[in-house]
Amino acid sequence: MLIFLSCFFIIQITYYLIFFLRLARYKVQALARPGNGVSVVICAHNEYYNLKANLPLILEQDYPEFEVLVVNHASDDETSYLLSDLQREYPRLKSIEIQMDLNFFSGKKFPLSIGIKSAKYDRILLTDADCRPSSPQWITNMQSAYREGIKIVLGYSPYTRSKGLLNKLIRFDTAHVGIQLPCLCPGRPSLYGCRQEPVVT
């Protein structure tokens, strides 16, 4: 048993050294200048409070050409009224109302497909109503990871820090999974700093 545990420990340490050492050596790259237009698509079902807190931060991004599409999916709270009020203040915001689920299309896939098909720009950035952008440069950071031959960019979203052991365990697990994403995805990984959402190509 001791030999087995020792072999397991050596394999695990070797894995960390080979795959995670490049994260420690990573240097933040200069951001590419904003170019292409970006459509931010958000699906929302009874997300009034999350949208009220986070949507203005997305609408106020420092990026020259973008739109924000919120697909209000059969909400029975005050989401519709909130979106109407925000549309008067932010011309970039577009709201799509889905009153009910269609047969065989329950869940998030249907509203997500509607939002993607309604997007104005080819570059589509997906996020959730309960996610807060790390900075006013969030869209710039995400779109700047695109290079020739790259079709998908993944973003890491850390949990909010709060008190308690459970929160620490969740944040550790989320960070651990986020660190492993570059190792699991094909191609050369491109990582931003810890507060700029690590991006995987």
- Of 60, 42, 62, the residue nearest 50 (C-alpha): 42
DSSP state of 169: H
Position 193 scores a pLDDT of: 30
**38-137 under CATH 3.90.550.10, yes or no:** yes
Position 181 scores a pLDDT of: 66
Q: Domain boundaries in the chain?
A: 38-137, 145-201
Predicted TM-score (pTM) above 0.85: no
Stretch 189-200: mean pLDDT, rounded?
Answer: 35
Bridge-based pairing state of the strands 66-73 and 38-44: parallel
Position 190 scores a pLDDT of: 37
Contact in structure between 110 and 43 (CB atoms under 8 Å): no
* 119 vs 104, higher pLDDT: 119
DSSP labels, 104-115: T--SSHHHHHHH
> Which of 72-81, 89-98, 136-145, 179-188 is predicted with the least confidence, judged by mean pLDDT?
179-188
Contact in structure between 194 and 167 (CB atoms under 8 Å): no
Distance CA 190, CA 26 (A): 9
> Which of 64-68, 137-141, 149-153 is predicted with the least confidence, judged by mean pLDDT?
149-153
Percent of the chain scored above 70 by pLDDT? 80
Q: If residue 51 lies in a helix (H) or strand (E), which one and from where to where?
A: helix 48-59
Q: Could you tell me if residue 134 is left (phi over 0), alpha (psi between -120 and 50 degrees) or otherwise beta? A: alpha
